[in-house]
Amino acid sequence: MLHNRSGPTQQQMQQMAEAVRSALPAHFREQMEEIVLRVEDFATPEQLASVEIESKWHLTGLYEGESLPDRSIWASGRMPARIWLFRRPLIAEWRETGVSMDDLVRHVVIHEAGHHFGFSDDDMHRLEDGAE
């Protein structure tokens, strides 16, 4: 998807995120159907505090919810899990790195989905490092 230098709109980024989920293998996609994908310009102060990040420019994505391994069949009435993408920090990273916006959005969606499946940040970094 081509974008002008101002970057994608919230709606365009939302479509990109949904396309990433749709392209996942069926067994992952099925377990992510209930996840709400949301695009906002920046994280809220509460979201930043939850991951101990001070600058709103340093958070490009966030998973909020209970990971699959931590769920109980007895729990009911919980809010659906969410994957947040923060548009303005993603645009800043896109401009700084030259990495395609499609690749950045794919990375964030997949990274945050990893939390849904119970992976820690350290686990995901080890997997990414091992794949290079």
Is domain 10-68+78-131 given the CATH code 3.30.2010.20 in the classification? yes
User: In the 3-class helix/strand/coil scheme, how is the chain assigned residue by residue?
Assistant: CCCCCCCCCHHHHHHHHHHHHHHCCHHHHHHCCCCEEEEECCCCHHHHHHCCCCCHHHCCEEEECCCHHHCCCCCCCCCCCEEEEEHHHHHHHHHHHCCCHHHHHHHHHHHHHHHHCCCCHHHHHHHHHHHC
List per-residue pLDDT tens for the chain, 132 residues long: 445 678 999 999 999 999 999 998 888 888 888 899 999 999 999 999 999 999 999 999 999 988 776 665 655 667 789 999 999 999 999 999 999 999 999 999 999 988 888 888 787 777 566 554
pTM: 0.85
